Chain A
Amino acid sequence: MLEGSILYQLKTAHQPGQVGKRSLNFGVYYKNTLVALCHALEDCILTASSKPLVIAAFQRGKWYLQEADRYAALAEKSEHVVIMAAPDTGFAEHPTSQRANVALVNLEPSDPVAQEWHLMILAPTYSAMVLCQELSAEDYGKSGLPQHDLERKFYGFWTFETNLVQETVELAIAHIHRYNPSLAQALTAQMQAISAQTHERDDLGAVVSRVVTYLQAGQADLNQIGQSDRLPLHQDILDSNLLSNEVQAFLRMAQLTDQADAINPHAAAEVAALAEAMGQLLDLPSWQLNRLKLAGLLHRLAPLQRTETVLSPVEFRYSEDASTAPSCPLVPGAQVVRTMPRMRAIATIITHQTEHWDGSGQPAGLAGDDIPLESRILGLATEFQQRVASLQAETRNQEEPLTTAECMAKALAECQQEQSKRWDPKLVDTLSLLVCGLQQGLSLSVNLPKISAGLWLIDSHCGDNLFGEVVEEFEVRG
Chain B
Amino acid sequence: MNLSTTIAAKLVPGANLEDEDLSGQNLQGVNLAGAKLTGANLNRAALSGASLEGANLIGTQLEGADLRASLMGANLMQADLTEADLRGANLRGVNLMRSRLSKATFAGAFLSGANLMGVNLQGVDLRGADLRGANLSNANLHGANLQQADLQGALLNEANLEEADLQGANLAGANLAGANLLCAELENANFNGANFAGACVVGTVLDKG
Contacts and interface: CB of A to CB of B under 8 A. Distances in A.
Interface in B193-209: 200, 202-205, 207, 209
Interface string B34-68: 00000000000000000000000000000010100
Nearest to A4: B209
Given A1-B203, A8-B209, A26 B147 contact: no
A285 interface: yes
A188 to B, nearest CB: 27
Contacts of A12: 209
A396 to B, nearest CB: 27
Nearest to B205: A16
B143 interface: yes
Given A447-B167, A449-B165, A285 B85 contact: yes
B145 A449 contact: yes
A251 to B, nearest CB: 13
Nearest to B105: A286
B202 A135 contact: yes
Contacts of B168: 447
B151 interface: no
A456 B202 contact: no
Contact of A455 (B123, B200, B207): B123
B85 A28 contact: no
Contacts of B185: 25, 450, 453
Contacts of A135: 182, 202
Interface in A315-334: none
B200 A141 contact: yes
B163 A453 contact: yes
B182 A155 contact: yes
A286 B85 contact: yes
B117 to A, nearest CB: 17
B163 A452 contact: yes
A315 B32 CA distance: 61
A473 interface: no
A26 B187 contact: no
Nearest to B158: A142
Contacts of A1: 202-203, 207, 209
Interface of A is mostly: mixed
Contact of B123 (A26, A28, A139, A456): A456
Given A447-B167, A450-B163, A459-B83, A139 B187 contact: no
Interface string B166-184: 0110000000001010110
Nearest to B125: A456
Interface string B129-172: 00000000000000111011000000000100011110110000
B206 to A, nearest CB: 11
B92 interface: no
Nearest to B186: A25
Of listed A8, A28, A450, A456, residue having the most chain B CB within 10 A? A456
A174 interface: no
Interface of B is mostly: loop
A453 B83 contact: no
B103 interface: yes
Given A135-B202, A155-B202, A453-B164, A447 B147 contact: yes
Contacts of B144: 456
B87 interface: yes
Interface in A16-48: 16, 23, 25-28
Contacts of A141: 178, 180, 200
A156 B158 CA distance: 23
Of listed A16, A156, A455, residue having the most chain B CB within 10 A? A455
Contacts of A63: none
Contact of B148 (A285, A445, A450, A460): A445
Contacts of A244: 143
B139 to A, nearest CB: 15
Of listed B187, B200, B203, B207, residue having the most chain A CB within 10 A? B203
Contact of A139 (B85, B107, B125, B182): B182
A445 B107 CA distance: 12
B163 A27 contact: yes
A179 interface: no
A286 B68 CA distance: 11
B127 interface: yes
Nearest to A293: B125
B124 interface: yes
Nearest to B64: A287
Interface string A1-12: 111000010001
Interface string A275-292: 000000000011100100
A460 to B, nearest CB: 7
A452 B158 CA distance: 22
Interface in A69-109: none
Nearest to B178: A142
A139 B183 contact: no
B165 A450 contact: yes
Interface in A288-304: 290
Contact of B183 (A3, A16, A26, A287): A26
Nearest to B164: A453
Contacts of A155: 182-183, 202-203
Given A8-B209, A244-B143, A456-B125, A28 B183 contact: yes
B187 A28 contact: no
A26 B203 contact: yes
B200 A139 contact: yes
Q: Closest 7 CB pairs between A and B?
A: A453-B143, A456-B123, A26-B203, A286-B105, A286-B85, A450-B165, A453-B163
Given A12-B209, A26-B203, 9 more contacts: A1-B207, A1-B209, A2-B209, A23-B187, A25-B185, A453-B143, A455-B122, A456-B143, A456-B145
16 contacts: A1-B202, A1-B209, A3-B209, A27-B163, A28-B183, A240-B122, A286-B85, A287-B85, A290-B105, A290-B125, A445-B127, A445-B128, A450-B163, A452-B163, A452-B183, A453-B143
